[in-house]
Amino acid sequence: MYHFSHFKAKDHQEVMEFMNEHPFIFLTGSTKEGKPVATQIPVIVEERDGELYLQGHIMRKTDHHKCFEENENVLAVFTGPSCYVSASWYSDQSMGSTWNYVSVQAEGKIRFMSVEELFSFMKKFTLKFEGGNTASKTIVDNLAPSYLDKMMPAIVGIEIKVERLENVFKLSQNRDEASLSNIRQRLEAIGGESAMVAAEMKKHAGR
């Protein structure tokens, strides 16, 4: 990971908020022979007794399922918006341009949930992403048993105990105030993902 102290979030709560706002992770591991595997899944982030855990589910009998059974060491990457930042927006333009982004890497060991744990997790998972709407027809508690009997055996629940957490909040912190203001204005004017980066810059500056 990119290591410069001025591009690091010092506030643990800021890192946690970012992870919860961007729960669709890139999950990667490798077989004992070193062959890499990867998948992308949504997760729930939990802190319990001072420890950090990521919970999710994957399809059974995939390459990554088989790999994670073989090698419990995994890396989860949380990514947010990113964009190009032109050096022409700086007060001093005699330097190269760059790319702003936010990323959190969580390294740890994966374990597979029991059938009971998976059902409990899926209840929590579906309710969370349905915004707590207990009337939603798609939360696990409201799905037909015949549907669950068919679909649940096809997935496996996973929990990752995070052993190392790293972050990069690369948001032009090494630029002067005039440059920062101009960068934000330029990104807001471009819109889309660039405007989202401008919002991250404002949020981070307030910490």
Give the pLDDT of the chain (207 residues) as one tens digit per residue.
778 888 998 889 999 999 999 999 999 999 989 999 999 999 999 999 999 999 999 999 999 999 999 999 999 999 999 999 999 999 999 999 999 999 999 999 999 999 999 999 999 999 999 999 999 999 999 999 999 999 999 999 999 999 999 999 999 999 999 999 999 999 999 999 999 999 999 988 866
Q: How far is CA 52 from CA 8, 15, 135, in A?
A: 19, 12, 30
Q: What φ, ψ does residue 191 adopt, rounded to 5°?
A: 80, -170
Q: Are 139 and 133 in contact (CB under 8 A)?
A: yes
The whole-number pLDDT of residue 47 equals 95
The residues near 20 (Cβ < 8 Å, ≥ 6 apart) are 45
Dist. CA 124–CA 42, nearest whole Å: 13
Is the Cα torsion angle 71, 160, 9, 93 positive or negative in sign? positive
Cα distance between residue 88 and residue 65, in whole Å: 47
Task: Give the CATH number of domain 5-205.
Answer: 2.30.110.10
Nearest CA-CA partner of 107 in 23, 29, 182, 181 = 29
Sheet holding 51-59: strands in order across?
36-42, 24-30, 73-85, 98-112, 155-170, 51-59, 44-48
Predicted local confidence at residue 3, as pLDDT: 81
